[in-house]
Amino acid sequence: MNVQDPASIKATAKQLIEEYPDVNVLINNAGIIQSDDAAGVIDEDFLISTVTTNLLGPIRLTSAFIEHLKAKEEAVVINTTSILGFVPLATTAVYSATKAALHTYTLSQRYMLKDTSVKVIEIVPPWVQSNNDEPRAMPLASFIDATIKILGTDTDEVLVEEAKMFRNNPGPNENVFVTQLNDTMNSEPPKIH
């Protein structure tokens, strides 16, 4: 399935529902993160690709499955956002913006589905070593273990310990925290021996 193609999403959803009529969980986890320059010219192809994958993809996927899910006795939609939706990384401004938008969409979706059988959960990862060995990032295995434990509770928002300070940040002085994060990220990584 191509999450950037609405026709592909509809066709895949239709096929999956026909082949697996008991399906009752949708996990929206696709994402593109690339550096961009919010103080400069943004490449149009990069912009469209990122917004389409990170924001429109989950909205379209959920839309394609939602009536099927609402017909189930119990169902779950899980949207993966990011701490960068709460504290943006300036060098990935478009990614950060899409994750902030998906967070607010998730809140609205949860509200609109509150009287249905569909539970809406948001997973808010910190920086994770998913395709890197950056020492400042959380090891992938640790993130998965902590996330699975939290998913086993009745929470609507999955926050591992490493994500909480970012999630709890928004407020009148959030710019101070954003500046500190970005200054730290632009510094030299620690040396590992």
Q: How far apart are CA 65 and CA 18, in angstroms?
A: 12
No. of helices (H) and no. of strands (E), the chain: 7, 4
Q: How far apart are CA 89 and CA 169, in angstroms?
A: 14
Q: Is 20 a catalytic residue?
A: no
Alpha helices for 113-154 (secondary structure H) = 140-151
Strand order in the sheet with 118-123: 25-28, 75-80, 118-123, 157-158
Question: Hey, is 130 helix, strand or coil?
Answer: coil
Task: Please compute, for residue 154, the number of CA atoms within 13 A of its CA located in the half-sphere on the CB side.
Answer: 0
Catalytic hit among 20, 95, 105, 111 = 95
Q: How far apart are CA 5 and CA 60, in angstroms?
A: 9
Tokens standing for residue 178: 């954003």
Tell me which residues are annotated as active site. Answer: 95
